[in-house]
Amino acid sequence: MKVTLKFKLPEDNAEHVRAINAQAAWGALDEIYNLIRNHFKYDGSDAENVLENINNVVFDAKQIVGD
């Protein structure tokens, strides 16, 4: 199967950037999931550290994908 996405640039630039960086966004979600999972499975005590790590992942993803 082949899919073609069409964007009207520069009007659709934000959507275009998000589409071409969707893999990075998915990777960030997966990393956040694993941070939370590991917190509940192993740590359970240092929620502040987990939240800080999640914040860093989100910040990095937003730098790639855009606001």
pLDDT > 70: percent of the chain: 99
d(CA 40, CA 42): 6
pLDDT tens digit sequence for 40-63 = 888 777 888 899 999 999 999 988
- With respect to residue 14, please indicate whether it lies within any of the assigned structural domains: no
Q: What pLDDT was estimated at residue 44?
A: 75
- With respect to residue 44, please indicate whether it lies within any of the assigned structural domains: yes
Contacts of 36 (CB under 8 A, 6+ apart): 50, 54
How does 24-59 read in b/e, with b if 16+ C-beta sit within 10 Å?
eeeebeebbeebeeebeeeeeeeeeebeebbeebee
- With respect to residue 55, please indicate whether it lies within any of the assigned structural domains: yes
Q: What pLDDT was estimated at residue 67?
A: 67
- With respect to residue 46, please indicate whether it lies within any of the assigned structural domains: yes
Number of C-beta neighbours around residue 61 at 10 A: 19
pLDDT band at residue 16 using 50, 70 and 90 as cut-offs: very high
Question: Is the pTM of the predicted complex or chain greater than 0.85?
Answer: no
